Amino acid sequence: MPLRSDIKKVLIIGSGPIIIGQAAEFDYAGTQGCRALKAEGLEVVLINSNPATIMTDKAMADKVYIEPLTLEAVKKVIRIERPDSLLSTLGGQTGLTLSMQLAECGFLEEMGVKLLGADPLTIHKAEDRQAFKDTMEKIGQPVIPSKVVETVEDAVEFAKVITYPVIVRPAFTLGGTGGGIAGSEEELRDIATNGLRLSPITQILVEKCISGWKEIEFEVIRDSKGNVITVCSMENFDPVGVHTGDSIVVAPAVTLADKEYQMLRSAALDIISELKVEGGCNCQFALKPDSFEYAVIEVNPRVSRSSALASKATGYPIAKVAAKIAIGYTLDEIVNAVTGKTYACFEPALDYIVVKFPKWPFDKFVYAKRTLGTQMMATGEIMAIGTSFEHALMKAVRSIELGLDSMNMKRLRFIDDKTLYDMLRNTDDIRSFVVFENIRRGVSLDDIHDITKIDKWFLGKLLHLVQIERELSEGELTEEKYLYAKRYGYLDKTIEEISGQKCPMHKNAVYKPVDTCAGEFAAETPYFYSTFDDENEAEEFIQRHDTGKKRVLVFGSGPIRIGQGIEFDYCSVHCVWALREMGYEAVICNNNPETVSTDFDTGDRLYFDPLTPEDVRSLIETEKPFGAVVQFGGQTAIKLTRHLADMGVNILGTSPDSIDAAEDRERFDELLNKCGIPRPAGHTVMNTEEAKSAANSLGYPVLMRPSYVLGGQNMIIAHSDTDIEEYMAIITAGGLENPVLIDKYMMGKEVEVDAICDGKDVLIPGIMEHIERAGVHSGDSISVYPAMTLTKRVRETIIDYTRKLAFALDVIGLVNIQYVVYNNEVYVIEVNPRSSRTVPYISKVTGVPMVDIATKIMLGSSLAEQGYKGGLYREAEHIAVKVPVFSFEKLHDVDTALGPEMKSTGEVLGIAKTFEDALYKGLIAAGYNMDTKKRGGVLITVRDTDKQEILYVAEKFERLGFDIYATSGTASVLNRNMIAANMVRKASEPAPNVMTLLDSGKIDYVISTSAHGRQPQRDSVKIRRKTVERSVCCLTSIDTANAVADILSMGKNIDEEEMVDICSI
Amino acid sequence: MKKAYILLADGSLFKGEHFGAEGTAIGEIVFATGMTGYEETLTDPSYYGQIVMQTFPLIGNYGVNKEDKESGGCYLKGYIAREFCDMPSNFRSEGSINGFLIENGIPGISGVDTRHLTKMIREQGVMNGALTTENAEDEGIRAALLEKVRSYRIENAVESVTVKEEKTQKPENEKYRVVLYDFGSKENIRRELLKRGCTVITVPAHTTAERIKEIAPDGIMLSNGPGDPAENTSVIVEVKKLTKTGIPIFGICLGHQIMALANGARTEKLHYGHRGANQPVKDTDLDRTFVTSQNHGYAVISDSLPPSAGRVSHINANDGTCEGIRYTAFPCFTVQFHPEACGGPRDTAFLFDEFIGMMRSDKNAAEK
């Protein structure tokens, strides 16, 4: 069937801010969807609150609303735009849920909007527990048997039916407290008794325990004719029990014989056919390792993280095909873009294997509980393609940026055998490395399998790596040994380290394409990965398609992590587009499967490979580029600068020396001196004693961080000697290699500037001001554009300093500078001669395409030639407020208090004509409770230094009609100042106390600051964790609390807000 | 690691590591793109005379077992895998692929750039080659091998793989009796029929139409098999006779080609054939496209089928070649792909039901 004639204007709902479990994959899906629909001549309206996305670019849709993803806001947009259709399946769970709500309340029907992609019944059948069970039963698909019971006898009775082991999950206990696995009736009686006692409603779920089963996924597509195909199978390294997002995953499935594979494939097709999905669908199965028994775990009738992975793993663009199906096309009509000859109605054949490796935030959250379970914790992931599992895995560990170049995790070497063996029982982020180290020490694969249930196939491959390393370490490093190690993914550097010998030769990698068909047809698509074979298909491709254009390499930003998120992908992609527009060939190298940059039709060529110097060297040899761009790929790309320069690569834009000058503390200080620009006073120290004396001479509080950090990692504010001792203990635990920096902490106004410099002029598209004073990481602050409260003099100073710094650093391209304004003086905190987190939203709001301009400048154009003058660009008509979004509910034991170390995973934007409206929208979009009618309670518990300032905020809440509760110290200050506060006992004191108060539901907001925090056992952290569990809005900065109180007092309502189409700005 | 070599008819030489049996195999090199089902491939008689290369790099992961065999033997000549797994992991595994190849005397090679080889075959077409553990770097050895490679031809393919004598297998409740005309049939054709209540009487390829009429089956199944279909001149004659009996006939792969030849169509050799588990086939009656399992080097030329005989009912969505025919003058349909799967998707298994349906209505009509 061709394009449906009744579809002219389609609304697409995005997935909102990046949170754990919902990341860049939906920008990739949404962008593909938008492009596919626009290519059909349809009018596309987009709503998404996340400004860092590519899909919210003006070019992506006809109308773009960066507005809160709430029912009211979406309704409002529908009323304004009157689309005839709504595509529900590209915006993750957020988009799907909103679409369903709109359908169920009859609004879509009322507005004459057709729901495309999946109908409500389909979604109900997939998402409602009982409906799902019934549907699966109807088509004979087994699900995991479970039953809710209220007595021990019923539990025992049911367990007899489903056979042991069983899992007991008490209802309404947090984090599964009181649950467990019972292997016998005796054990079950114990666990069930305990679970029933702990459950507030005396209820437990008894479920068949399938931990240890294999976890297999299929990505399936179906069209309106009923054609069904599977795009890809995937198998988890970790058996059932670890969320697939937290597991190492391989594609295709490797340990299944054809009989098992086809059994599950057929099941997946039966499921999608029964659900009548028109588009993509993800089916997850658990397969018993010693029989054909299996169970359907989950079905997602939409595109997902897995579908993004499957798309990149196979070259089959699932989201694009799903979008085309949604508007009427069928699989047999859609051309396979990779071959250009065949159709989308086929199943990709791979001639390589793919390994996905998760990126966890535990390097940031040192106190977080690292046990992996059913709640995903990874913020991002990388994908590696190889000719063997070993090859791909070795690439994966390099790509994940943990400082590893093999499976050897150095710190495990120091652990004794017994402890290391016991560590096999921990299902955590380092398990694969612990397994490897145990194998290295000779623990049998059988033993490891018995404990971990990881399939012996995977263990055998790890053993192979151990054997390769043993060979390397024994005797002469021959060419044969060298080449064998190369084949399995070892770097020269690693081979030399392991063997203690120089490599006898050097072999560069060659490149093979991802072509969807295992070489059966000639591929058109330039999507490559490296191998150590002899035939270099990329080189042939370049020769065959020689356009005579200059080639430029653009390095991407690797896995999404806190501090380096989707915004860098936005920048990389825009750089590529600008390069192509200018007549260059743009070549991308990146390893993140979730992103738009790794969509094979973003650039002229895509290399899916690790971003390490040696990996990149081969790429340079093959591409022989005119130049390389590093300033858009975050720290990942910046780190390559010096190596690239050493290889003789022309670094476009700001020179490697300038980048070094900004990163090296001494050089930077010298530069500031030369320019006469002040920065907060500071010292460099190497040990605790030095640190304490430096801090005392500067005067507390001080800001501490290791030199050479990424995104505020391990940065704290120390208020006392005790803080310094604790901090130094953490940072020296891993052996102190670089000095620690101690700076005077100035609690002033933080201001951020993104600027573009061509060497002659400096264009400042905008100055942003943070709501929270310095001390809260800029990524975690609410940021306002344009700056609202700066005096003329301060503003001019900032412009002046920005110019001076850009020139002094010889910036060619983008530069991001952070200032603190303290006692009306401007100090520089940080200069990053590269793109920043704020570039996407400032570009969108100001209409200055910063990355495009910067790219053109790097290639010789000037600001003037592009029609821009130096200085501050005219202020936009709209105010834009960026509000950070956190994923605390996904991470156990993480302190939610904001500080110098970044904790947010994503952001939203509020755009309006006034500051208050923009902030209101931003807060709503970020999920703050902004119900202006409800008046409950506010719990205040703040550190001594905040006790004076909190009075003003408390008074505002009191005046709004909230009941004020406070812990003893805070309460007495409030009461002394005529603010009626109910005193609440501390968490450590007997109930009723602050914890039971939070449980009571009386509290709407908590304002909590503390001098210490961090460690989960501290009272302040316990209170903040409790707010996460109880979904109570917790404000950990007085400034944020103040802003929230102000907005609440205005009694705003989203229905009265203007919806802003940024295409019309 | 012992070395092994692949020598192609055009003289190109690939060096790799040896596994499986020692020795030299000469055959037609073909590539198969299925990502699972190597054991089915190894035991599929249709690969007679060929050196099979797997494009998926990891072979042998789940070992080998008795249940997954598609025939009693291993008819291919040599086996090429990028990596073979010597530590298989699967609850049904009874041994490694290495052991299996040794047992069956099939030499194998790993550690070669299979993608490079695949591309050569794709560009230049199916090619003869040798897989050897002899030192092919030695010019003398290479020259001698090359001569053999260049003169190699697959001959008497069907004769070599068909059963020697008739055999009968009964299901628990017999509903129909089917003659399986065995040109090198895969075991799963038999299993699919048995599962549906058919007694399967497997007859050798040289069986006459008269003998089949004597058996008086409810249906006739023309099996898959190896080689050039046009070589089977006597079988074609017998099959032609069977079309006059009015007995429902279902043909798969070679069976499909032989039926077409018996009805005046012609076949041609494909450039490099279709071998894999992902081939899209459009069923023009249902207006549906199915993902199918395929293994064939020849195809029926669609235009050559006399319109009076039947019509093309299935088309390969990739290259438009003939994938199925429905005959008009007698109850028969045939497909080029493998609805019995093994390995590969089971999406077209319903064709067996259709065959059963044909037999049922035929029987009902006879009873009336």
Query: What is B62-113 written as a DSSP string?
Result: T-B-STT-SSSS---SEEE-SEE-SS---TT--B-HHHHHHHTT-EEEESS-
* Cβ–Cβ contact A227 with B under 8 A: yes
Active-site entry in B74, B198, B253, B342: B253
Q: Please answer yes or no on whether B57 and A226 come within 8 Å at the CB atom.
A: no
Question: Using CA atoms, how far apart are residues A259 and A292, in angstroms rounded to an integer?
Answer: 9
Nearest to A350 by CA among A397, A383, A310: A310
**CATH class assigned to B3-154:** alpha beta
3-class SS of residue B249: strand
CB–CB of A1043/A919 below 8 Å?
Answer: yes
Give the residue on B whose Cα is nearest the Cα of A462.
B87
Give the residue on B whose Cα is nearest the Cα of A531.
B113
Residues of A in contact with B343 (CB under 8 A): 258, 262
CB–CB of B88/B60 below 8 Å?
Answer: yes
Q: Please answer yes or no on whether B279 and A346 come within 8 Å at the CB atom.
A: yes
Residues of B in contact with A254 (CB under 8 A): 58, 61
Nearest to A832 by CA among A1018, A663, A642: A663
Encode pLDDT of A937-965 as tens digits.
Answer: 999 999 988 999 999 999 999 999 999 99
Name the token pair of A784. Answer: 């306002």
Regarding the domain with residue range B158-367, which homologous superfamily does it belong to in the CATH classification? Answer: Class I glutamine amidotransferase (GATase) domain (3.40.50.880)
Q: Please answer yes or no on whether B36 and A290 come within 8 Å at the CB atom.
A: no
Give the pLDDT confidence score for residue A931 in this predicted structure.
Answer: 85
Residues of A in contact with B31 (CB under 8 A): 519-520
Q: Which of 365-404 (A) contact B at CB < 8 A?
A: 387-389
Q: Which of 510-529 (A) contact B at CB < 8 A?
A: 512, 517-522
Q: Please answer yes or no on whether A226 and B288 come within 8 Å at the CB atom.
A: yes
Residues of B in contact with A488 (CB under 8 A): none
Give the residue on B whose Cα is nearest the Cα of A455.
B89
Give the residue on B whose Cα is nearest the Cα of A228.
B290
Please state the pTM of the whole predicted model. 0.95
Measure in Å the smallest separation between the Cα of B65 and chain A Cα atoms: 10
Ranges of chain A whose pLDDT falls below 50? 710-712
Encode pLDDT of A131-147 as tens digits.
Answer: 999 999 999 999 999 99
Give the pLDDT confidence score for residue A174 in this predicted structure.
Answer: 56
* Domain ranges across chain B: 3-154, 158-367
Q: Please answer yes or no on whether A259 and B68 come within 8 Å at the CB atom.
A: yes
Q: Please answer yes or no on whether B318 and A341 come within 8 Å at the CB atom.
A: yes
Of the candidates B33, B91, B346, which has its C-beta nearest A518's C-beta? B33
DSSP B230: G
Q: Please answer yes or no on whether B278 and A348 come within 8 Å at the CB atom.
A: yes
Would you call B198 a catalytic residue per the annotation? no
Measure in Å the smallest separation between the Cα of B111 and chain A Cα atoms: 9
Give the residue on A whose Cα is nearest the Cα of B120.
A519
With tokens 């704290």, the residue in question is: A716
Give the residue on B whose Cα is nearest the Cα of A333.
B317
Of the candidates B61, B68, B343, which has its C-beta nearest A255's C-beta? B61
Of the candidates B291, B341, B347, which has its C-beta nearest A346's C-beta? B291
Residue to test with chain B: of A250, A262, A331, most B Cβ within 10 A: A262
Give the pLDDT confidence score for residue A713 in this predicted structure.
Answer: 58
Measure in Å the smallest separation between the Cα of B212 and chain A Cα atoms: 33
CB–CB of A424/A438 below 8 Å?
Answer: yes
Check if the interface score ipTM surpasses 0.90.
yes
Q: Please answer yes or no on whether A534 and B113 come within 8 Å at the CB atom.
A: yes
Nearest to A835 by CA among A590, A641, A654: A654
Would you call B296 a catalytic residue per the annotation? no
Q: Is A492 exposed, middle or buried (0-12, 13-18, 19+ CB in 10 A)?
A: middle
Element (H, E) at A1041: helix A1038-1049
Q: Please answer yes or no on whether A332 and B122 come within 8 Å at the CB atom.
A: no
Question: Using CA atoms, how far apart are residues A566 and A105, in angstroms rounded to an integer?
Answer: 34
Q: How many Cβ atoms sit within 10 Å of the Cβ of residue A1049?
A: 14
Residue to test with chain A: of B1, B2, B29, B36, most A Cβ within 10 A: B36
Measure in Å the smallest separation between the Cα of A786 and chain B Cα atoms: 56
Give the pLDDT confidence score for residue A337 in this predicted structure.
Answer: 79
Nearest to A485 by CA among A36, A246, A501, A140: A501
Of the candidates B31, B37, B113, which has its C-beta nearest A258's C-beta? B37
Measure in Å the smallest separation between the Cα of B60 and chain A Cα atoms: 9
Active-site entry in B70, B134, B323, B340: B340
Of the candidates A225, A353, A520, which has its C-beta nearest B122's C-beta? A520
Of the candidates B36, B282, B345, which has its C-beta nearest A256's C-beta? B36
Measure in Å the smallest separation between the Cα of B187 and chain A Cα atoms: 14
Nearest to A954 by CA among A993, A990, A982: A982
Pairing type for strands B127-132 and B50-54 reads unpaired
With tokens 């990942």, the residue in question is: A636
CB–CB of A222/A228 below 8 Å?
Answer: yes
Encode pLDDT of A590-636 as tens digits.
Answer: 999 999 999 998 999 999 999 999 999 999 999 999 999 999 999 99
Question: Using CA atoms, how far apart are residues A67 and A1055, in angstroms rounded to an integer?
Answer: 12
Of the candidates A227, A252, A254, which has its C-beta nearest B289's C-beta? A227
Would you call B338 a catalytic residue per the annotation? yes
Residues of A in contact with B344 (CB under 8 A): 258, 262
- Do the domains at B3-154 and B158-367 have one common CATH topology? no
Give the pLDDT confidence score for residue A710 in this predicted structure.
Answer: 46
Active-site entry in B238, B323, B338, B342: B338
Of the candidates B68, B88, B280, which has its C-beta nearest A345's C-beta? B280
What region does A1014 belong to: left with phi over 0, alpha with psi -120 to 50, or beta?
left
Give the pLDDT confidence score for residue A524 in this predicted structure.
Answer: 78
Ranges of chain B whose pLDDT falls below 50? none
Name the token pair of A773. Answer: 């004073």
Phi, psi (5° rounding) for residue A794? -60, -45
Give the pLDDT confidence score for residue A1018 in this predicted structure.
Answer: 86
Provide the CB-side half-sphere exposure for B17 (13 A, CA).
Answer: 10
Residues of B in contact with A347 (CB under 8 A): 277-278, 291, 345
Give the pLDDT confidence score for residue A712 in this predicted structure.
Answer: 47
